[in-house]
Amino acid sequence: MMRDTGKHDAVVVFGAFDRHNLGDLLFPHVVARLLACDDVIFAGLAQRDLRVYGGHAVQALAQLAAERGKDRLHIVHAGGEILTCGDWEAAVMLLPRDQAQKIITRLDTHHDQRRAWARALTGLDALAPYMASREMFPCASSVMYQAVGGVDVERLDPCMRAEVLSKLTQADDISVRDVHTQNGLAAAGIFARLVPDPAVLVAELFGANIRAHRERSGVADLQRAFPDGYVAVQFSADFGDDQTLGVLASELDRVSSETGLGIVFFRAGAAPWHDDLACYERIASRMKVSRTQLFGSLQIWDICALIADATAYAGSSLHGRIVAMAFGLPRVNFVHPARAHDTTKQSAFAATWEPACVPGSVRIEALSEAMLDALTIDRALLGRTATSLAARYREGFAQMRAAMCST
């Protein structure tokens, strides 16, 4: 038990677990389990209760600061691509999808109005709102960043970049989840340790719970429907134009035809700018093979069970990949054509932690070849990778906790 952080010092676990996204909803489970602390507060930008999806009841950071800003609190940023998540993007993703579309239509080209609207929604005057400031919590015992991401930190506009770097200089401990982010911060004079994403621990910490979800989630039915196995496939809504869907359908047809594997589509995130059910229905109608199904559950442990029992994972979600990685499964990320030449969080994470023989993030027209290659990789190697990364995260977390206890 982490008693030595101070009898009266609660721990605020802060992140984007105020909206539906697989990775963000997994982070607080991992961090809270390892903290083993009696007094943990889960905070986001808005008060939300996502327990129906396996998440947490979350307090709004602005309200928490108003009520407990003068208390001795430890603040732990629990992971995610928070260093480059701006106020407009963050606020829109808190809305129901229909409301989000209306506000995007109304304000997308009105920058000043967007900022005012985002401030009103979150109660925060911050360009990088998922980074808690010392000004909000002047008596904070410590401010920690644990395995966060920010591959585009060097490309931020000057005002937001200045805010991000200022907040990081006020932190007591910083770790990031990929070398690209680490190098970007180092160029600005900020040292950050390298620690893999928290989700690398899902199999080790929550494997029994995930296995228990097989029957109730319908995953066991998929095993019966696809006795030769299936590929769990996911992609975000920006892949939904006709040309891109056509290429993906053709690539997945080849994978299924050459392996006999089924194709099971699922959503890793239902927040705005994440995954769209209609896109999966459209791609399924374009495919020639009949071995396809759509997995409807948005409960995170159901999703983990789907991935854990798959033969392989393919998708645009970083955390779809990391859950597959935690269970020692073949995995491939694919990148939207518009970002084919960019370093993305998916490609940066793979380049940092994957063995050289494991495909990282590929163009959509290379998906089938990469997937077929991934299926030939030695499963023992994939298992060792999973074990190694889980140990690396535990080591990095222990260093953060030691720094927390010393403040």
What b-and-e string marks burial along 351-375, b requiring 16 or more CB atoms within 10 Å of the CB?
ebbbeeebbbbbebebbbebbbbbb
d(CA 73, CA 6): 9
Give the pLDDT of residue 126: 97
Q: How many CB atoms lie within 10 A of CB 38?
A: 11
In this structure, what token pair is assigned to residue 358?
């494991």
Res 2 pLDDT > 50:
no
Give the pLDDT of residue 202: 98
Give the pLDDT of residue 407: 77
Is 325 in contact with 385 (CB distance < 8 Å)?
yes
Is 277 in contact with 195 (CB distance < 8 Å)?
no
Q: How many CB atoms lie within 10 A of CB 10?
A: 18
In this structure, what token pair is assigned to residue 169?
């200089």
3-state secondary structure of 230: strand
* Average pLDDT of the segment spanning 118-123: 95
Q: What confidence tens digit (pLDDT) does each residue in 240-289 have?
A: 999 999 999 999 999 999 999 999 999 999 988 899 999 999 999 999 99
Q: Where are the alpha helices (DSSP H) in 170-299?
A: 179-187, 202-217, 219-225, 242-259, 277-286
Q: What confidence tens digit (pLDDT) does each residue in 175-212 have?
A: 999 999 999 999 999 999 999 999 999 999 999 999 99
Domain ranges, ordered by start, for the chain = 3-195, 202-388
What dihedral do alpha carbons 181, 184, 189, 195 form, nearest 10°? 20
The residue with greater pLDDT, 282 or 216, is: 282
How much is the pTM? Answer: 0.95
* Average pLDDT of the segment spanning 57-67: 96
Give the pLDDT of residue 6: 41
- pLDDT band of residue 4 (cuts 50, 70, 90) is very low
Give, rounded to a whole angstrom, the gap between the first and last alpha carbons of the chain: 17
Pairing of strands 142-148, 40-44: unpaired
Homologous superfamily of the 202-388 domain (CATH): Glycogen Phosphorylase B; (3.40.50.2000)
Amino acid at 17: F
Is 2 in contact with 405 (CB distance < 8 Å)?
yes
d(CA 267, CA 11): 31
d(CA 133, CA 82): 13
Sequential DSSP letters for 309-366: TSSEEEES-HHHHHHHHHTT--EEEEE-GGGTTS--HHHHHHHHHS-TTS--EEEGGG
Q: What confidence tens digit (pLDDT) does each residue in 95-118 have?
A: 998 899 999 999 988 889 999 999
3-state secondary structure of 173: strand
Res 314 pLDDT > 70:
yes
- pLDDT band of residue 8 (cuts 50, 70, 90) is low
Mean pLDDT rounded to a whole number for the chain = 94
d(CA 292, CA 309): 16
The residue with greater pLDDT, 140 or 8, is: 140
Is 18 in contact with 58 (CB distance < 8 Å)?
yes
Is 82 in contact with 149 (CB distance < 8 Å)?
yes
% pLDDT > 90, the chain: 91
- Going 351 to 357 to 358 to 361, the CA torsion angle's sign is positive
